[in-house]
Structure 1
Amino acid sequence: MTILTQILSTSELEFPPRLLHFTVALSSAYVVFWIFRAFYRLTFHPLASFPGPKFAGASFWWLYQNEKDGHLEENLKALHQKYDTHILRIGPNELHIDDASVYDEIYSQKYRFMKDPDFYASFNAPNTIFSEGMPDPHRELRKIISPFFSKQRIVAVEPTIYAKVNLMFNKIREFKDQGAIHMYNAIRCLTVDFISEYSFGQSFSLLEDAKDLEFHPGILFAFDMSTEVVTTFRYFPILRQFSNLMPLSLMAFLSQKITKVKELKMALADAMSSFDKARADGQKFEHLPLFDPLSHMSKEYIEAESIDIMVAGSDTTATSLGYLVNAVLRNPDILQKLRAELDAGLPDKDANWPLLELEKFEYLTACIKETLRCAMPVPGRLPRVVPMPQPGTPPFIVDGKVIPPGSTVGISAQSVHHSESIWGLDSQVFKPERWLGPDSKQLEKFLVTFGKGGRQCLGINLAYAELRIAAAKLFRCLDMSLDSSMTKKDLNQLDHFASAYEGTGVRVFIRGERP
């Protein structure tokens, strides 16, 4: 022990003075660099004159803190009002715009506002149809995938949609005496089961495996995390790289959220392997799986594209339908009108009504459009980079200010959908009647739930089909009432790129079946 004490007390084990000096100097240099960079950003940067919080202009940390809590758009709306401006500086090189009149200019292919590479890299899914920033590769991918989401194709797979909706309906019947049905989760199981079968030729069978009224298989948590970790990856890209390299066992020790995302990737890889084997064995599929024409692509691409399609094709629609159920049941007049239309047009409640017939139901369609306006699946901004103006064309101007080329800009669906100048003073109110008036066609161009132009979400026809069929089935066949024990937190929607409920989402009691 005496020898050990002598060894530990020797000067060789003391912190070397040169290393200490170097560490202090390096730390001081970084602090000085950070101060001078912040000073430049606030004083000489091309966006220095634009209004907004000083901390936002000096550092990305302000944006990260506001994004991670899921309430960024609400905070930005308050800041637009505080600074009395349509254009707000929210990052060192980023502006947030709430002027719907320039939406088409930013998001139209015509004007070549390219996707912000840093934002889309955070999804850890390079070169997918969602994240691909270059027009030509994106166009080629769209040619391959878009036929699977055409109106004609969706009508062709209508029986598969009904099979999943009817399975959900039967499960709700099975569990209805247990208490309040977790309707949001039930709908999520429905949409995951459909998009998995549509993509890989086999369903994840979440509805079949549901054991109780909560409808909560563990994989749904992985879907939640796949969008929630995006914010962390965006502002700490080194974590994104580590997550790709680390084994699952080590990642499980460091981050449960990222671990769940990796587990989801593994589940999708297994689904693709099963599809490849089934195809090699000559198995016949009810319809051509979406990933069949993509099977020649790299393993990395398939993995990335499968996550994009699974999340975009499931949780987004589920969030909307969950909102619709809650909104209609909270408004007796709306519920009565919807039931009256469905009862008159669908006398046989046990039939699988043709989708083309459901499209003719004006009030059902109005409820769906109003849902998509109020409960955007992707409520936040989709950043674009301002291009250099072409010869003979004016610069990009908002609020009388020229936006410097190279700046990142974005308009959120939430800003457009809640603009009082477009929708009136009741823009926050769920009001299907606004889609039945003489101005309804004019309002269509301001419904940007799925984006616009060449970058519009491919799943628009599928989303409308699922919403029409599921909503018609639920409100025509079931007598539902809201669970009065739901809290504000249960129904509070968070923006983690895709909308998610802070709590359980809508819960309903099934009082019986309607005649």
Structure 2
Amino acid sequence: MILQFPTSSSAIPSLSFQEIAFLAGSFLLLSYLAQVLYNLFFHPLSKLPSAAPFAPANTWWSLWHGLVTQDRVFLLHQKLEEVGPAVRYGPNEVVVSDPKYLKTIMMAKLDKTPASAGFTTNRGTPCAFSAIVNAEAAGKRKGMLPHYATTNLQLWQPVFDEHIGHLVKVLEGYGPDESVDILSLGAHAIIDILGEIVLDKNIMSLNDYARGIRNPITRAIALWPKRGMIKGNLPGWVWPIVEKFPNEWWQHLCRSDADLADFVGPLVHDARSRGTPDRPSLIHRLSNSVDSYIGQLWPVDHVISECIDHFLAGTETTSVTLAYCLYALSTCPGVMSKLQAELDEAIPDPEAVISISVAQNLPYLNAVVKEGEHEHDLHSVLHYAYSLRLFPASPGPKLRILGNGLAVGDHFLPPGTVVGIPIWTTHRMASIWGSDATTYRPERWIEGVSPEQNTAFQPFSLGGRSCPGMNLAMTDLRMLISMITRNFDITPARQTTEASMTPRDLETLYPIGGEVRLHFKSRSG
């Protein structure tokens, strides 16, 4: 028998568009389900406890709680307390609670995750913070670290005096019954300080605030971190679509990076054309420094990017810290009186300005900055006030990609695992800080902390990717808190409550009420 095969294409059955679409959709669905089953049951990390039953299946749980409810770090903390020492919250993402792994993870020169690319500034130009490759970040840091040395910051004492003095005068302009949003007011003063130290420019942001003018740079600085968090956590193909959404607030958010680049760019070009002054700003330092990663002077677009990043990092985190700390003082008059007594003794002349060197050596002032507020319910995040310990401005894990495997308890994290240790967790572990780990007690810093506590305390992160401006942030906080509390008695406004101060986390901590309104009554009468 001879088999006959059709020779005409008309004999081959054709599929309709709907049938092709159905088959393609079925294939994609089956592929997705297969990936979900693999992530849940066959992945090398499948034996780890998970943050939620289906959190490891895909990135949806992380995205929802990171971008929408903004409570991811708090939920991870609760789960780590329940089942530690390691919890899986995505297909390849793990958080660890034990601070003994901090040095292993944070000081091992590991690379960051691709999500860091969402935080590039100047229209996609990498800075030290957003650089994924550790060596690239290290090359950039060398040129900036001398700028934030304490001895160099002391040269900028007149700048701190001018702008913090201006802030005090603005507060004096309010009556004792008028409430002031210190979160916003403080941010404007910090922007002016940073403007001179970073950009060699007096931005006069606080002056605009006092006149009721909305400074567009202040708005861009406030919106940019949210933009970075959203962009960094969305698939790359989604952002070009969603950034076209025709909403005014959303468009300001999407344009915040371009607005900052358009503002900082001309300042960088102008500063470079004028040469280096006797007291150089960051612009001048970077313009005359070699980026060892590329082996040449910093390119102009990279100087712009780095300066933008320092503005962003220095403003929001410091202003949030300041606002929560002043709120804590307003609800604890005994602590505020003790702090005022220390300041009065250190600077008897009410007209004198406290110096950077004096402020950094006042024990109770530094204890207040490092501590926080009492937590009424040890398993709730609704009753905190802020400090560097209890409420770090950046409370989440600083994620790294493991180059080698890591044994955590009875679990093994293979190479390529994305892992981090939440600062929120290491700062309130009873095994480290004792039974009063969540109690506001500044005295603990005067009594002395243990080596384990020193290791666990990491508000600015650790290692080669730690915050290069931590000295500046601490100087800002010491100077602002000392000058404000020395001049005013502070009480919370009616609308500022434990509920309004409930923390949310969108890369940087912020109060759910969006503002921190306080009353400032002059101590001079």
TM-score w.r.t. the length of structure 2 is 0.85
AA aligned to 2:357 is L
Q: Residue 4 of structure 1 corresponds to which residue in structure 2?
A: none
Partner of residue 385 from structure 1, selected from 401, 404, 417: 401
Q: CA deviation at 1:135?
A: 3.5
Q: CA deviation at 1:252?
A: 6.4
AA aligned to 2:71 is H
What secondary structure does 1:325 align onto?
helix
Structure 2 residue 143 is matched with structure 1 residue 144:
yes
After TM superposition, the structure 1 = structure 2 runs for residues 62-461 of structure 1, keeping only pairs within 5 Å, are 62-68=61-67, 69-82=69-82, 84-108=83-107, 111-116=108-113, 118-125=114-121, 127-176=126-175, 179-211=178-210, 217-238=215-236, 242=240, 251=244, 253=246, 256-257=249-250, 259-277=252-270, 279-280=272-273, 282=274, 287-295=279-287, 297-298=298-299, 300-370=301-371, 371-388=387-404, 395-439=405-449, 443-461=453-471
**Contact preservation (8 Å) 1:478, 1:512:** yes
Gaps of 5+ in 1: 1-15, 389-394
What secondary structure does 1:372 align onto?
coil
Q: Residue 33 of structure 2 corresponds to which residue in structure 1?
A: 35
Q: Residue 492 of structure 1 corresponds to which residue in structure 2?
A: 502
C-alpha distance in 2 between matches for 1:202 and 1:78: 45
C-alpha distance in 1 between matches for 2:251 and 2:422: 27
Paired positions, count? 483
**Contact preservation (8 Å) 2:271, 2:283:** no
Q: CA deviation at 1:444?
A: 2.6
Structure 2 residue 477 is matched with structure 1 residue 467:
yes
After TM superposition, the structure 1 = structure 2 runs for residues 52-71 of structure 1, keeping only pairs within 5 Å, are 52=50, 53-68=52-67, 69-71=69-71
C-alpha distance in 2 between matches for 1:336 and 1:141: 43
C-alpha distance in 2 between matches for 1:275 and 1:36: 52
**Contact preservation (8 Å) 1:380, 1:413:** yes
Q: Using a 3 Å threshold, how does the CA distance of structure 1 residues 299 and 19 change in structure 2: closer, same or farther?
A: farther
**Contact preservation (8 Å) 1:182, 1:504:** no
What secondary structure does 1:405 align onto?
coil
**Contact preservation (8 Å) 1:476, 1:514:** no
AA aligned to 1:265 is A
**Contact preservation (8 Å) 1:201, 1:285:** no
The Cα offsets for residues 481-513 of structure 1, whole Å up to 9 and x where unpaired, read as 221332444322211111122224322222223
Q: CA deviation at 1:298?
A: 4.3
Q: Residue 51 of structure 1 corresponds to which residue in structure 2?
A: 49
**Contact preservation (8 Å) 2:190, 2:315:** yes
Q: Residue 9 of structure 2 corresponds to which residue in structure 1?
A: none
C-alpha distance in 1 between matches for 2:413 and 2:282: 41
C-alpha distance in 2 between matches for 1:203 and 1:252: 35
CA RMSD of aligned residues (A): 2.6
C-alpha distance in 2 between matches for 1:416 and 1:215: 41
**Contact preservation (8 Å) 1:186, 1:215:** no
What secondary structure does 1:491 align onto?
coil
Structure (1 or 2) with the greater helix fraction = 1
Of the structure 1 ranges 361-370 and 292-301, higher mean CA displacement relative to structure 2 is found in 292-301
Q: CA deviation at 1:59?
A: 0.7
C-alpha distance in 1 between matches for 2:257 and 2:351: 36
C-alpha distance in 2 between matches for 1:346 and 1:207: 26
C-alpha distance in 2 between matches for 1:312 and 1:499: 12
**Contact preservation (8 Å) 1:479, 1:514:** no
AA aligned to 2:279 is H
The Cα offsets for residues 135-175 of structure 1, whole Å up to 9 and x where unpaired, read as 43322211111111111111111211121111111111123
Q: Using a 3 Å threshold, how does the CA distance of structure 1 residues 381 and 472 change in structure 2: closer, same or farther?
A: same
AA aligned to 1:291 is I
The Cα offsets for residues 370-394 of structure 1, whole Å up to 9 and x where unpaired, read as 1211221110011111122xxxxxx
C-alpha distance in 1 between matches for 2:521 and 2:285: 46
AA aligned to 2:170 is K
Q: CA deviation at 1:421?
A: 0.9
Q: CA deviation at 1:472?
A: 0.9
Q: Using a 3 Å threshold, how does the CA distance of structure 1 residues 279 and 303 change in structure 2: closer, same or farther?
A: closer
Q: Using a 3 Å threshold, how does the CA distance of structure 1 residues 199 and 481 change in structure 2: closer, same or farther?
A: same
Q: CA deviation at 1:303?
A: 4.5
Gaps of 5+ in 2: 1-13, 288-296, 372-386
**Contact preservation (8 Å) 2:199, 2:281:** yes
AA aligned to 2:474 is Y
Q: CA deviation at 1:112?
A: 3.5
Q: CA deviation at 1:332?
A: 2.1
Q: Using a 3 Å threshold, how does the CA distance of structure 1 residues 220 and 278 change in structure 2: closer, same or farther?
A: closer
The Cα offsets for residues 447-501 of structure 1, whole Å up to 9 and x where unpaired, read as 1001122222111110111111111101111122221332444322211111122
What secondary structure does 1:414 align onto?
helix
The Cα offsets for residues 72-129 of structure 1, whole Å up to 9 and x where unpaired, read as 11111222344x2211110001111111121111101xx343222x221222345311
Q: CA deviation at 1:338?
A: 0.7
Partner of residue 26 from structure 1, selected from 24, 27, 37: 24
C-alpha distance in 2 between matches for 1:300 and 1:291: 12
What secondary structure does 1:41 align onto?
helix
TM-score w.r.t. the length of structure 1 is 0.87
C-alpha distance in 1 between matches for 2:506 and 2:493: 26
Partner of residue 507 from structure 1, selected from 487, 499, 517: 517
**Contact preservation (8 Å) 1:325, 1:506:** no
**Contact preservation (8 Å) 1:268, 1:306:** no
C-alpha distance in 1 between matches for 2:53 and 2:520: 52
Q: Residue 9 of structure 1 corresponds to which residue in structure 2?
A: none
Of the structure 1 ranges 320-329 and 120-129, higher mean CA displacement relative to structure 2 is found in 120-129
AA aligned to 2:510 is A
Q: Using a 3 Å threshold, how does the CA distance of structure 1 residues 177 and 335 change in structure 2: closer, same or farther?
A: closer
Q: Percent identity?
A: 22
Q: CA deviation at 1:258?
A: 5.2
**Contact preservation (8 Å) 1:71, 1:495:** yes
What secondary structure does 2:29 align onto?
helix
Of the structure 1 ranges 311-320 and 130-139, higher mean CA displacement relative to structure 2 is found in 130-139
AA aligned to 2:56 is G
